[in-house]
Structure 1
Amino acid sequence: MKKLMLAALAAASALATSGCATVLNGTNVDYTTETNPEGATAKFTNGMECKTPCSLEMKRKTDQRVDLSYPGYKPTYVLIQSKLGGGSFGNILLGGGIGAVVDGTNGSSNRLYPRPLIVRLAKEGTADEAVLLDDKGKVVMTVEAHNDSVRVDVAKTIGAKLAGLEE
Protein backbone atom coordinates (compact mmCIF):
# COMPACT_ATOMS: atom_id res chain seq x y z
CA MET A 1 0.00 0.00 0.00
CA LYS A 2 2.86 2.34 0.87
CA LYS A 3 4.49 1.71 -2.54
CA LEU A 4 1.21 2.46 -4.31
CA MET A 5 0.86 5.76 -2.45
CA LEU A 6 4.47 6.69 -3.26
CA ALA A 7 3.89 5.91 -6.93
CA ALA A 8 0.71 8.01 -6.96
CA LEU A 9 2.52 10.87 -5.22
CA ALA A 10 5.39 10.68 -7.72
CA ALA A 11 2.96 10.72 -10.66
CA ALA A 12 1.06 13.69 -9.20
CA SER A 13 4.32 15.57 -8.62
CA ALA A 14 5.44 14.93 -12.19
CA LEU A 15 2.17 16.27 -13.54
CA ALA A 16 2.24 19.31 -11.28
CA THR A 17 5.76 20.30 -12.27
CA SER A 18 5.53 19.78 -16.00
CA GLY A 19 3.62 21.79 -18.56
CA CYS A 20 0.84 20.35 -20.67
CA ALA A 21 2.29 21.71 -23.91
CA THR A 22 5.64 20.15 -23.11
CA VAL A 23 3.97 16.76 -22.80
CA LEU A 24 1.64 17.18 -25.79
CA ASN A 25 3.77 19.21 -28.23
CA GLY A 26 7.39 18.86 -27.25
CA THR A 27 9.87 21.68 -27.73
CA ASN A 28 10.50 21.02 -31.45
CA VAL A 29 8.26 21.02 -34.49
CA ASP A 30 8.57 19.75 -38.06
CA TYR A 31 8.77 22.91 -40.15
CA THR A 32 7.86 22.54 -43.82
CA THR A 33 9.17 24.97 -46.43
CA GLU A 34 7.87 24.99 -50.01
CA THR A 35 8.49 27.32 -52.92
CA ASN A 36 7.08 27.86 -56.35
CA PRO A 37 9.15 26.94 -58.27
CA GLU A 38 10.42 23.96 -56.31
CA GLY A 39 14.13 23.44 -55.78
CA ALA A 40 14.98 26.78 -54.17
CA THR A 41 17.75 26.89 -51.60
CA ALA A 42 16.46 27.69 -48.11
CA LYS A 43 19.08 28.86 -45.58
CA PHE A 44 17.96 29.37 -41.98
CA THR A 45 19.65 31.50 -39.32
CA ASN A 46 20.10 28.38 -37.16
CA GLY A 47 22.54 27.06 -39.80
CA MET A 48 20.16 24.56 -41.39
CA GLU A 49 19.82 24.47 -45.17
CA CYS A 50 17.65 22.51 -47.59
CA LYS A 51 16.22 22.42 -51.10
CA THR A 52 12.48 22.99 -51.29
CA PRO A 53 10.19 21.30 -50.62
CA CYS A 54 11.72 20.24 -47.33
CA SER A 55 10.90 19.67 -43.70
CA LEU A 56 13.33 20.40 -40.86
CA GLU A 57 13.00 20.00 -37.12
CA MET A 58 12.95 23.46 -35.53
CA LYS A 59 12.78 24.76 -31.97
CA ARG A 60 9.32 26.17 -31.22
CA LYS A 61 10.72 29.04 -29.16
CA THR A 62 13.23 30.35 -31.71
CA ASP A 63 12.55 33.14 -34.19
CA GLN A 64 14.26 32.52 -37.53
CA ARG A 65 15.06 34.13 -40.85
CA VAL A 66 15.08 31.96 -43.94
CA ASP A 67 16.78 33.20 -47.11
CA LEU A 68 15.34 31.76 -50.33
CA SER A 69 17.14 31.75 -53.66
CA TYR A 70 16.56 30.16 -57.05
CA PRO A 71 18.27 30.98 -60.38
CA GLY A 72 16.21 33.44 -62.46
CA TYR A 73 14.15 34.56 -59.44
CA LYS A 74 14.61 37.45 -57.02
CA PRO A 75 16.22 36.33 -53.77
CA THR A 76 14.01 36.97 -50.75
CA TYR A 77 13.86 36.26 -47.07
CA VAL A 78 11.02 35.45 -44.71
CA LEU A 79 11.00 36.19 -40.99
CA ILE A 80 9.61 33.29 -38.97
CA GLN A 81 8.08 34.39 -35.68
CA SER A 82 7.73 32.26 -32.57
CA LYS A 83 4.33 33.17 -31.11
CA LEU A 84 2.65 32.14 -27.89
CA GLY A 85 -0.01 29.55 -28.73
CA GLY A 86 -3.56 29.58 -27.42
CA GLY A 87 -3.00 26.42 -25.39
CA SER A 88 -0.93 28.35 -22.86
CA PHE A 89 -4.04 30.09 -21.53
CA GLY A 90 -5.75 26.75 -20.94
CA ASN A 91 -2.59 25.61 -19.22
CA ILE A 92 -2.84 28.52 -16.78
CA LEU A 93 -6.53 27.85 -16.10
CA LEU A 94 -6.26 24.08 -15.74
CA GLY A 95 -2.71 23.47 -14.64
CA GLY A 96 -1.83 26.57 -12.72
CA GLY A 97 1.24 28.71 -12.92
CA ILE A 98 3.86 25.96 -12.72
CA GLY A 99 2.91 24.38 -16.04
CA ALA A 100 2.70 27.78 -17.69
CA VAL A 101 6.18 28.67 -16.46
CA VAL A 102 7.62 25.35 -17.68
CA ASP A 103 5.98 25.67 -21.11
CA GLY A 104 6.89 29.34 -21.41
CA THR A 105 10.51 28.70 -20.56
CA ASN A 106 11.11 25.83 -22.97
CA GLY A 107 8.90 27.23 -25.75
CA SER A 108 6.62 24.21 -26.04
CA SER A 109 3.53 26.44 -25.88
CA ASN A 110 4.78 28.48 -28.86
CA ARG A 111 4.08 28.01 -32.55
CA LEU A 112 6.05 29.18 -35.55
CA TYR A 113 4.37 31.62 -37.95
CA PRO A 114 3.99 31.22 -40.85
CA ARG A 115 3.73 27.45 -40.82
CA PRO A 116 3.91 25.82 -43.24
CA LEU A 117 6.01 28.31 -45.15
CA ILE A 118 4.87 28.39 -48.78
CA VAL A 119 6.38 31.12 -50.97
CA ARG A 120 5.79 31.94 -54.63
CA LEU A 121 9.03 33.52 -55.74
CA ALA A 122 9.10 36.51 -58.14
CA LYS A 123 10.92 36.28 -61.47
CA GLU A 124 13.87 38.58 -61.99
CA GLY A 125 13.19 41.44 -64.39
CA THR A 126 9.52 41.74 -63.39
CA ALA A 127 7.66 44.05 -61.02
CA ASP A 128 6.25 40.98 -59.23
CA GLU A 129 6.88 40.44 -55.51
CA ALA A 130 7.35 37.20 -53.62
CA VAL A 131 4.12 36.20 -51.86
CA LEU A 132 3.11 33.88 -49.05
CA LEU A 133 0.55 31.24 -49.98
CA ASP A 134 -1.79 29.22 -47.79
CA ASP A 135 -1.93 25.43 -48.01
CA LYS A 136 -4.54 25.70 -50.81
CA GLY A 137 -2.31 27.93 -52.95
CA LYS A 138 -4.21 31.16 -52.25
CA VAL A 139 -2.16 34.34 -51.79
CA VAL A 140 -2.12 35.41 -48.14
CA MET A 141 0.09 38.53 -48.45
CA THR A 142 3.38 39.68 -49.89
CA VAL A 143 6.52 38.50 -48.15
CA GLU A 144 7.42 42.15 -47.59
CA ALA A 145 4.10 42.86 -45.83
CA HIS A 146 4.55 39.80 -43.62
CA ASN A 147 8.13 40.75 -42.73
CA ASP A 148 7.04 44.31 -41.93
CA SER A 149 4.34 42.99 -39.57
CA VAL A 150 6.77 40.88 -37.48
CA ARG A 151 10.11 42.65 -38.03
CA VAL A 152 10.34 44.59 -34.74
CA ASP A 153 9.42 41.56 -32.62
CA VAL A 154 11.73 39.14 -34.45
CA ALA A 155 14.59 41.68 -34.31
CA LYS A 156 14.61 41.29 -30.52
CA THR A 157 15.96 37.75 -30.89
CA ILE A 158 17.75 37.53 -34.24
CA GLY A 159 19.09 41.10 -34.27
CA ALA A 160 18.14 44.28 -36.09
CA LYS A 161 20.39 43.63 -39.09
CA LEU A 162 19.05 40.13 -39.84
CA ALA A 163 15.48 41.35 -39.31
CA GLY A 164 16.01 44.10 -41.87
CA LEU A 165 15.91 47.10 -39.52
CA GLU A 166 19.53 48.03 -40.29
CA GLU A 167 21.60 47.73 -43.41
Structure 2
Amino acid sequence: MKNLIALLAVGALTTGCASVVNDSTHPMKVETKTATGDLVTGAECKLTNDYGSVSVKSGDTAQVRRSSKDLDIVCKDPKNPDALARAISRANAGMFGNIILGGGIGAIIDHNKGTAYTYPTWVQLEFGKSLVFDRTNEKDGAPTLATQPPAAATPVATK
Protein backbone atom coordinates (compact mmCIF):
# COMPACT_ATOMS: atom_id res chain seq x y z
CA MET A 1 0.00 0.00 0.00
CA LYS A 2 2.85 2.39 0.88
CA ASN A 3 4.45 1.70 -2.51
CA LEU A 4 1.21 2.57 -4.30
CA ILE A 5 0.87 5.84 -2.37
CA ALA A 6 4.51 6.72 -3.11
CA LEU A 7 4.02 5.92 -6.79
CA LEU A 8 0.91 8.11 -6.97
CA ALA A 9 2.72 10.96 -5.19
CA VAL A 10 5.65 10.81 -7.62
CA GLY A 11 3.22 10.74 -10.55
CA ALA A 12 1.37 13.77 -9.22
CA LEU A 13 4.58 15.72 -8.75
CA THR A 14 6.02 14.92 -12.17
CA THR A 15 2.89 15.43 -14.25
CA GLY A 16 1.36 18.84 -14.75
CA CYS A 17 -2.30 19.33 -13.99
CA ALA A 18 -3.03 20.83 -17.41
CA SER A 19 -1.21 17.94 -19.09
CA VAL A 20 -3.66 15.56 -17.45
CA VAL A 21 -6.76 17.71 -18.03
CA ASN A 22 -6.02 19.19 -21.49
CA ASP A 23 -4.99 17.72 -24.81
CA SER A 24 -2.06 19.30 -26.62
CA THR A 25 -4.57 20.74 -29.12
CA HIS A 26 -7.92 22.45 -28.89
CA PRO A 27 -10.56 23.41 -31.46
CA MET A 28 -10.72 26.88 -33.03
CA LYS A 29 -13.50 27.87 -35.42
CA VAL A 30 -12.22 30.30 -38.05
CA GLU A 31 -14.63 32.47 -40.01
CA THR A 32 -14.02 35.31 -42.46
CA LYS A 33 -16.26 38.19 -43.37
CA THR A 34 -16.26 41.22 -45.62
CA ALA A 35 -16.23 44.84 -44.41
CA THR A 36 -20.03 44.82 -44.76
CA GLY A 37 -20.29 41.80 -42.45
CA ASP A 38 -21.09 39.12 -45.04
CA LEU A 39 -19.60 35.74 -44.12
CA VAL A 40 -17.24 34.25 -46.71
CA THR A 41 -16.69 30.49 -46.51
CA GLY A 42 -13.89 28.55 -48.16
CA ALA A 43 -11.06 31.11 -47.80
CA GLU A 44 -7.65 29.48 -47.25
CA CYS A 45 -6.50 30.16 -43.70
CA LYS A 46 -3.13 29.34 -42.17
CA LEU A 47 -2.70 29.33 -38.39
CA THR A 48 0.90 29.48 -37.14
CA ASN A 49 2.62 29.38 -33.76
CA ASP A 50 5.98 28.13 -32.47
CA TYR A 51 4.86 24.50 -32.89
CA GLY A 52 4.09 24.86 -36.61
CA SER A 53 1.17 25.59 -38.89
CA VAL A 54 -2.24 24.16 -39.63
CA SER A 55 -4.45 25.03 -42.60
CA VAL A 56 -8.22 25.30 -42.55
CA LYS A 57 -10.93 26.69 -44.81
CA SER A 58 -12.89 29.57 -43.31
CA GLY A 59 -16.14 28.35 -41.84
CA ASP A 60 -14.45 25.19 -40.49
CA THR A 61 -12.84 24.28 -37.19
CA ALA A 62 -9.12 23.50 -36.86
CA GLN A 63 -7.31 21.62 -34.12
CA VAL A 64 -4.74 24.17 -32.94
CA ARG A 65 -1.59 23.15 -31.05
CA ARG A 66 -1.57 24.78 -27.62
CA SER A 67 1.37 27.06 -26.86
CA SER A 68 2.43 29.88 -24.58
CA LYS A 69 3.12 31.89 -27.75
CA ASP A 70 0.46 33.80 -29.69
CA LEU A 71 -1.08 32.36 -32.86
CA ASP A 72 -0.85 34.25 -36.16
CA ILE A 73 -3.68 33.75 -38.67
CA VAL A 74 -3.69 34.68 -42.35
CA CYS A 75 -6.76 34.07 -44.54
CA LYS A 76 -6.62 34.47 -48.31
CA ASP A 77 -9.46 34.70 -50.79
CA PRO A 78 -9.05 35.66 -54.46
CA LYS A 79 -11.93 38.17 -54.28
CA ASN A 80 -10.74 39.96 -51.12
CA PRO A 81 -7.63 41.48 -49.54
CA ASP A 82 -5.93 39.26 -46.94
CA ALA A 83 -7.43 38.99 -43.47
CA LEU A 84 -4.81 38.99 -40.70
CA ALA A 85 -5.15 38.24 -37.01
CA ARG A 86 -3.28 37.37 -33.87
CA ALA A 87 -4.90 35.11 -31.27
CA ILE A 88 -3.53 35.80 -27.79
CA SER A 89 -2.44 32.78 -25.78
CA ARG A 90 -3.77 32.83 -22.21
CA ALA A 91 -3.15 30.53 -19.26
CA ASN A 92 -6.05 28.15 -18.69
CA ALA A 93 -7.52 26.62 -15.53
CA GLY A 94 -4.93 23.81 -15.55
CA MET A 95 -2.12 26.28 -14.93
CA PHE A 96 -4.00 27.90 -12.07
CA GLY A 97 -4.68 24.44 -10.63
CA ASN A 98 -0.94 23.79 -10.60
CA ILE A 99 -0.26 27.06 -8.81
CA ILE A 100 -3.05 26.62 -6.23
CA LEU A 101 -2.16 23.01 -5.46
CA GLY A 102 1.53 23.86 -5.14
CA GLY A 103 2.61 21.96 -8.23
CA GLY A 104 5.49 24.17 -9.25
CA ILE A 105 7.03 21.31 -11.20
CA GLY A 106 3.71 20.65 -12.91
CA ALA A 107 3.37 24.33 -13.83
CA ILE A 108 6.81 24.28 -15.45
CA ILE A 109 6.01 21.09 -17.38
CA ASP A 110 2.66 22.43 -18.58
CA HIS A 111 4.20 25.76 -19.58
CA ASN A 112 6.92 24.03 -21.60
CA LYS A 113 4.47 21.64 -23.28
CA GLY A 114 1.96 24.44 -23.97
CA THR A 115 -0.93 22.51 -22.40
CA ALA A 116 -1.43 25.24 -19.80
CA TYR A 117 -2.57 27.69 -22.49
CA THR A 118 -5.62 28.20 -24.68
CA TYR A 119 -6.53 30.43 -27.62
CA PRO A 120 -10.00 31.82 -28.37
CA THR A 121 -12.28 29.06 -29.64
CA TRP A 122 -14.16 31.11 -32.29
CA VAL A 123 -12.73 33.97 -34.33
CA GLN A 124 -14.11 36.04 -37.22
CA LEU A 125 -11.43 37.72 -39.33
CA GLU A 126 -12.33 40.64 -41.57
CA PHE A 127 -10.82 40.91 -45.03
CA GLY A 128 -8.54 43.94 -45.37
CA LYS A 129 -8.00 44.26 -41.61
CA SER A 130 -5.54 43.08 -39.00
CA LEU A 131 -7.27 42.13 -35.75
CA VAL A 132 -6.38 40.76 -32.33
CA PHE A 133 -8.48 38.14 -30.55
CA ASP A 134 -8.07 37.72 -26.80
CA ARG A 135 -9.71 34.81 -25.00
CA THR A 136 -10.53 37.13 -22.10
CA ASN A 137 -13.14 38.70 -24.45
CA GLU A 138 -14.72 35.31 -25.22
CA LYS A 139 -18.42 34.72 -24.50
CA ASP A 140 -20.03 31.27 -24.82
CA GLY A 141 -21.97 30.82 -28.05
CA ALA A 142 -20.52 33.89 -29.79
CA PRO A 143 -17.36 34.77 -31.73
CA THR A 144 -14.62 36.37 -29.65
CA LEU A 145 -14.71 40.15 -29.94
CA ALA A 146 -11.75 41.53 -31.89
CA THR A 147 -9.65 44.62 -31.28
CA GLN A 148 -7.28 46.55 -33.53
CA PRO A 149 -3.63 45.79 -32.75
CA PRO A 150 -1.06 48.46 -31.99
CA ALA A 151 1.04 49.19 -35.10
CA ALA A 152 4.07 47.30 -33.79
CA ALA A 153 2.04 44.13 -33.12
CA THR A 154 0.46 43.77 -36.57
CA PRO A 155 0.77 40.17 -37.82
CA VAL A 156 2.88 39.77 -40.93
CA ALA A 157 1.39 37.94 -43.91
CA THR A 158 3.28 34.76 -44.80
CA LYS A 159 3.57 33.30 -48.24
TM-score, normalised relative to structure 2: 0.70
- Kept in 1, the 8 Å contact 2:90–2:118? The answer is yes
Residue 76 of structure 1 corresponds to 83
1:44 paired with 2:51, answer: no
Give the 5 Å matches for 1:128-147. 135-136=141-142, 140-142=145-147, 145=148, 147=149
**After TM superposition, which residue ranges in structure 1, 4 or more long, deviate above 6 angstroms?**
130-134
Greater helix proportion: 1
Partner Cα separation in structure 2 for residue 10 and residue 119 of structure 1: 48
Q: Which has the larger radius of gyration?
A: 1
Matched-pair identity in %: 24
Cα 1:25–1:108, aligned 2, differ >3 Å: closer, same or farther? same
Between the two structures, name the one with larger relative contact order (CA 8 Å, sep ≥ 6): 2
Residue 150 of structure 2 corresponds to 148
**Structure 1 unaligned regions, length at least 5:** 123-128, 153-162
Shift of 1:55: 2.1
Shift of 1:130: 7.1
Partner Cα separation in structure 2 for residue 7 and residue 14 of structure 1: 10
Partner Cα separation in structure 1 for residue 58 and residue 127 of structure 2: 12
Q: What SS does the corresponding residue of 1:53 show, helix, strand or coil? A: coil
RMSD: 3.0
Q: What SS does the corresponding residue of 1:108 show, helix, strand or coil? A: coil
**Structure 2 unaligned regions, length at least 5:** 33-38
Cα 1:150–1:83, aligned 2, differ >3 Å: closer, same or farther? farther
- Kept in 2, the 8 Å contact 1:60–1:108? The answer is yes
Question: Could you report, residue by residue, the CA deviation over 1:40-83 in whole angstroms, capped at 9, with x for unpaired residues?
Answer: 11023333222122222222114322111223222121112222
Which amino acid in 2 is paired with 1:55?
T
Residue 55 of structure 1 corresponds to 61
Cα 1:141–1:41, aligned 2, differ >3 Å: closer, same or farther? same
1:7 paired with 2:1, answer: no
Greater strand proportion: 2
Partner Cα separation in structure 2 for residue 101 and residue 68 of structure 1: 34
Which amino acid in 1 is paired with 2:73?
V
- Kept in 2, the 8 Å contact 1:79–1:150? The answer is no
- Kept in 1, the 8 Å contact 2:122–2:142? The answer is no
Which amino acid in 2 is paired with 1:49?
S
